Amino acid sequence: MRRTPRWLVVVVATLVAAVALRLLVFRSSPVPVEVARVEPGTVEETVTNTRAGTVKARLRARLSPQLGGRVTELPFRKGARVQAGALLLRLDDSVQQAQVALSHEQVKTAELRATEACLAAELAEKELRRGKALSVDGISSQQDLDTLESNRDRSRAGCQAVLAARDQARAQVGLAEAELALTVVRTPFAGVIADCSTEVGEWITPAPPGVPIPAVLDLIDPGSVYVSAPIDEVDSQRVRVGQEVRLTVDSRPGEKLAGSLVRVAPYVLDILEQNRTVEIEVEFADPQVAAGLLPGTSADVEAILARREAVPRIPTAAIAEGGKVLVLKNGRLEERTIATGMRNWQFTEVKGGVTVGELVVTARDSPDIKPGARARARETR
């Protein structure tokens, strides 16, 4: 029997040792991958705003007096809560008060003159009747009757003239009181004073006719807070009044606030032709939450178009182009093509290609994460 050459034995032993070293010593470590488990859950189809929305107040009034003058009363300061009709500001009204007093005196004078003139008209009427009675007996001539009738008519006209003057004097009272009312500013609705830019003793400069005096008070109703946000024009036919909405505001990070869509603008804003949008308005479900937000705060809106409950889902970030996903199975990565259903930026419904309980890779942030690679899981939710 021929013996195996020593050199062949050495070569075989070397190859076996090299393979063993490759498999046992120099074997590459499994690639750590972020994974998520396929599991039942809720998937929603949503529409979000294209640019930041803004918290606004439906009832907000920037107030100023209609007349110029010196401020004599300022009962409330910034931050004060006021009821509807409360006095916010009063100007020096001494001239207007004097005008009201004068107009009342003019009314008294006009009423006395009216009484005098109308009594004279009554007397002229009586004298005419008396003259007619005398003319029947031939005592009074036709010329005397004509004179009496003329006096009667003139007295009647005088009475009507002074009555008109009396009514004019009464109207002057209303005008003077209206001008007096212009020296005060009252709240048109209950709210909070957001700003006040004047002080007692300061002068508010009158404006030219047709030009309003710059506002000195800013009144806001906290209960009327809502969010206005722009959405892309392509989504305008998918949103409608009454849809459920989730809101996030910069002043309350990490919170999802419930709301409902109350208005979709009937036109497209084309100020920026490359970014045409439609304005939507959203109200908060909790009035107390709305009252605690400051108008002007940035906000984001997520309108929920449809929802499916208890369907298999995976993070949307796990899906590559063409519906490809990497599944971690038995320590290796497998590439599969999945069938998808409803989706949003966070989750996608899975209709086939993976089963509940399997692990899919959520981030391909390394070239080593590829089909066939050995991997170990770092499960996330």
Tell me the per-residue pLDDT of 254-286, one tens digit each, with 9 for 90 and over: 889 999 999 999 888 876 556 788 999 999 999
* Residue 206 confidence (pLDDT) above 90: no
| From the candidate CATH numbers 2.60.40.10, 2.40.30.170, 3.40.1280.10, 3.30.230.10, the one assigned to the domain spanning 43-57+222-379 | 2.40.30.170
Beta bridge partners of 234: none
Percentage of the chain surpassing pLDDT 70? 87
**CA nearest neighbour of 216 among 202, 231, 233, 230:** 202
What's the mean pLDDT in 170-177?
92
pLDDT of residue 379: 59
Reported as a single tens digit per residue, the pLDDT across 328-379 is 999 999 999 999 999 888 899 999 999 999 999 998 888 888 898 888 887 5
pLDDT of residue 298: 92
Residue 278 buriedness (CB in 10 A; 0-12 / 13-18 / 19+): buried
pLDDT of residue 21: 52
Task: Give the C-alpha separation, 359 to 346, whole Å.
Answer: 17
Q: Are 327 and 360 in contact (CB under 8 A)?
A: yes
Task: Give the C-alpha separation, 156 to 149, whole Å.
Answer: 10
* Residue 24 confidence (pLDDT) above 60: no
Q: Is 267 helix (H, G, I), strand (E, B) or coil?
A: coil
pLDDT of residue 353: 92
- Strand 375-379 to 31-37 pairing: parallel
Q: Are 229 and 207 in contact (CB under 8 A)?
A: no
Distances (CA, A) of 200 to 193, 215, 367: 16, 16, 72
Task: Give the C-alpha separation, 105 to 253, whole Å.
Answer: 66
Q: Are 46 and 308 in contact (CB under 8 A)?
A: no
Residue with tokens 């009667």: 152
Pairwise pLDDT comparison (102 vs 148), residue with the higher score: 102
**CA nearest neighbour of 358 among 379, 374, 344:** 379
Beta bridge partners of 44: 307
- Determine the straight-line distance between the first and last CA of the chain, rounded to whole angstroms: 68
Among 16-25, 26-35, 125-134, 136-145, the minimum mean pLDDT is found in 16-25
Q: Does domain 60-91+185-220 have CATH number 2.40.50.100?
A: yes
Would you say the C-alpha torsion 230, 233, 239, 244 has a positive or negative sign? negative
Q: Apex CA 189: angle with CA 186 and CA 193, to 5°?
A: 70
pLDDT band at 20 (very low <50, low <70, confident <90, very high): low
Would you say the C-alpha torsion 174, 179, 184, 185 has a positive or negative sign? positive
* Residues whose CB falls within 8 Å of the CB of residue 159, separated by 6 or more in sequence, listed in order: 114, 117, 118, 120, 121
Task: Give the C-alpha separation, 135 to 98, whole Å.
Answer: 56
